[in-house]
Structure 1
Amino acid sequence: MSAVRAARQEHLQNGRTLSYKRLDDAARQQALAPFLSAAAKLDGHLVAIAVDKRKKWLSTVPGAAEDLRKALQLKAFWNARALEAMLRKVQFTAVLLSIWSLPYTNVTWITDEDEFVANDTRHDDALQAAARMCSFYFQHPMGIFRLNTTGQDLEDRDFEDLCAIPDLAAGMLSEVSTRLAQAGSWEGRMHKVLDGELPFKAELIADWFWDTEMSLRKTLITIDLEGARFAVRKVSMQGCDISQNL
């Protein structure tokens, strides 16, 4: 994290945050490339999971909210959509932990101040649901499981900067996916080509995301709908030289 902290001290002073939707002012635009370069030095794995917006129900089913709330012993009020959103995050977390965790691993999940942790009761429910969901996916005992938000680290902004990395990737991937759906054309059976150019911020982040010559590993998992069926395809990007635009 030392490189990320240094990038913050130089380019993101006065508590300024970095997110894809807020890359509309000069200071954040100037900070983007140094911040991505610093993030590239992290020893970790960035996993982006893109779900087709037409797939409304993935971790729950319509009409089951109340039964699930009772089964998981949740205390907050969750309507069907809010419960689906929370359990989808929880399920993805459990799947990844089932792959990477070892017995008695301590885990800290850091999230932005999203709707599913909007208050203390929902925060506790999400933590409870995560513990129960993990028990469905693996048998070995876990260590301490924490669920923290960016609001719990307002002084150093380390949590905020960690969450900014997947936020930037998700914003870029959402932009790419939307444009592929609206203006993409098929080249052969397995490749879809984007017709037209992406915004510069998306080009820059995409180039960083698919760069394999860095410590930070990155994986994109897509859950797509093709008619009544699911489709899984590799998303690739043709390399380009963007140095002339920097």
Structure 2
Amino acid sequence: MVRPGVYRLHSRFDSVLNFFDGDRLVSLVTARVGPGPANMVMDGPLPSALDSLEVSSAGLKLGGSLLTFDHSAVYRSALGAGRPDRLKADRGLEALEGWLARRAPSGSLAFLVGAPAGRPCGGFEKKEREWVRRACLKLFYSELQAGARMLKGIGRGLTPSGDDFLCGSLAALDVIERLSGRDLTRMKDAVLRNALGGNPLCNAFLGFARRGRYDERQKGLLKAVLAADEPMVEVRARALARFGATSGADWMTGLVAAMKGWRELWS
């Protein structure tokens, strides 16, 4: 639930306007982007000139206008109750890993789960890939906190690949907790604490992932994976991969890599 407050513009895109009140995020989005834990879906185009907005119990104040909420359309961003079946989850995970290996966009971190890496453009990219591989070994097998710190901020763009990967890894811990019945609070907190940095948007997304809060694309994919619905896994993976240049693919890679790396916790 978005908290009341005055939010200032952080970043503007054709389909998304991001606003912050301190470290709290609100995003105005078009119907094409869809619902999420901090998304307010606009019925129509986004305002072209807007530097701030106010959220109150009465609605959303944009300039001098008050837009009321449609409470019948409130989006529930958590997966919901119930313990998933481990065998189905394993099959769904295998289907997602196969899709990433075949279809992940170039430049993503999906080389970590079998996608062709392609030839590095230069020495920096080669070193970055090796850094990511070493970070994953630490994250999953030896030094969780150091691995999260190594991945933080790695890559380019508004949300770097390493941060998207860590969001997917936190989603994996939510799934593992549901599959195993374990309490992984300390583990999730350790990942989050060491993943937070100076990018407020990444920090907000990491916080949502830590709390098991997902946008519509992410939630749809997780439900398809846990149901072992292979055709729907591919449909949902394609939809999520269209999010950002590589953000969706990096999130899915983090999910798959973490489910495999922490398999002893749930299999």
Q: Which has the higher contact order (CA 8 A, sep 6+)?
A: 1
TM-score over 0.5 for the pair: no
Provide the TM-score with structure 1 as the length reference.
Answer: 0.30
Bigger Rg, structure 1 or 2: 1
